[in-house]
Structure 1
Amino acid sequence: MALRATSRPHRVVVIAVDGVIPFEFSIPARLFGAARDATGRPLYEVTTASTDAKPVRTNSDFTINPAANLSDAIRSADTVVVPAVELAELDPHQVDVVIETLRHRPRGSRIMSICTGAHLLASAGLLDGRPATTHWNHTAEFSREFPAVRLDADVLFVDDGDVLTSAGAAAGVDLCLHLIRHDQGSTVANAVARLCVVAPWREGGQAQFIEAPVPDNEDASTTSTRAWALERLDTDLTLASMARHASMSVRTFTRRFRDETGTSPNQWLTRQRIDYARRLLESTDLPIDQVADKTGLGTSASLRGHLRTAIGVSPSTYRRTFQPAAMNSGRTETYPLV
């Protein structure tokens, strides 16, 4: 959903409850708070709220003092954030208040969770029948407790329009940057990423972070080959040519590549080409066939097919949605599962 045309900053309310995890709790204020327009004006206003405006215990050895009462802050919220919580430390009364608040949030607002915050969204029934994600270490428990949710344990985040969920910890950074890019365009999102010294986007899903054996020979890495390939996306890269560059057999290269990235070389290569195409669609006016050629996706028909498979929209629709000019048009559009 695109931002409504307005002169005031987009209002973000971050909910704090006992057991909140400090790192994930701080992500929205840091990322959204760094977004500025060309004149330096803040594009977001971030407020922290608790159920009773009293100090909240974190899962560490300190408390935080929210600035507002949730029932008051929610009235003007454009985006509501439920950060990660230590599930064993949740206060039932606070949970009930949050669930009721989420169910009656302002019309037209969107809601996002970070990590285990998805449990509160699911408890409120907001994820029933919808795609969602959470930290990989909690997916089995989540699936048992909320069978109506279409849980995807492999992705960093899911954007289902007005309800968004992210995987563990730093995936909250990925989701905030995604929303900033959606709301304000790539230029602003990239500036925020540079200021916060984080990657503007990360390749692969959270499968790459699930506990797995360390490769036997750590010196034999595919990192340099991935960098080499990224500079040649418009060429005819093959599995054999990448293995040759890495001085490995195809079989060894494929196994090592999956160990390091959580995906196969061909899947990774296609994703890089799609991501490059998205950046070109966001930042240039190149015709669709030229974007396809520059990214190694071949024809405009191939680009359309890949983009629709990856994110559910055509190149022209994506360009209209994500270029800054479209962001200021006042249109409301829905961006599907990423």
Structure 2
Amino acid sequence: MTDSSSSEIIKEIWGYTPSYGANLCLLILWCMVGIVQLILALPTLQFFFGISMLLGCGLEIIGYRSRVAAHSDLGSLLNYMLNYLCLMVAPVCLMAAIYSAFGNVIEAYSKDYSVLKPINYRRIFILLDFLSFCIQIGGSITSASDDTSTAEAGGHVLLGGLLLQVITMFIFMALQATFFIRVSKAKHSGHDAYLDPRYESVRNSRYFKFTVVAMFVSTVLIFVRSIYRVFLETNDDSGAAMKKEAFFLGMDGFMCCIAVALITVFYPGISFRKMRKLRKSSSYSEVEKTNTDAQGNIYAPPNNTPEFNGPTRVII
């Protein structure tokens, strides 16, 4: 196959010429968000969260840099593959950061209200996230094969990785909702005093509350983007509307950009840094079986009351 014919095939795959202005705008936005994420990660010591967010931002930057370059070089295979591969897997890195941060959010309230132990949100969901990442990478590379049957198999593998990502996020959101329903139930039943007393100042701060909301909204936005990607991968070339760039930029680019912008404005590491300081200076016992503060007052949630049956204990 000649270079000329390969170039024509790549142009046909694109289906349109990427907009220079719109993609440059997203490229600039992602660069700005990435720089701010780096600035915030260093003083707050958010190593895993910071690295995951920066990796996600970096992949988005490479993806949109490739789209900008493709405006004047539409036949470049490199530009197409970098656009396709980087923008496909970047949200996996972004979600890994959110999974990790939610464990700290649980600790700020009480792990007794969570279905999973905080550490297991990191272990289970990040493991599934990494598996999804590997599957999507493998599927994306295989789908670029010149052999039709191999390319189709790669497309199926890629779709499987996307479906795993969607299912993982759905379960995570369900567990998030369950946790906050239990916390809300405790507060409305007058049992909010049974939350971990060390972090009361953190929980009551408006910034922390906005941070929790921002994390949940960001998860929903990335979830919607992932559903769009699944829908896109399951439609053939006859679904021309799905290939229009404006729809792609709105459902993929701006969805993820808004999600990360929210987490940048309400950066979890700021609240988590306060939690670390409180943990170091706290006189409260870390021994879970006693569940008492420095004055000997029990703060563990009650097992049975008329108004509130207490949280379901961590089961995993």
- How would you bin the TM-score normalised by the shorter chain? under 0.3
**Going by fraction, where is strand more abundant, 1 or 2?**
1
**Going by fraction, where is helix more abundant, 1 or 2?**
2
Rg larger in structure: 2
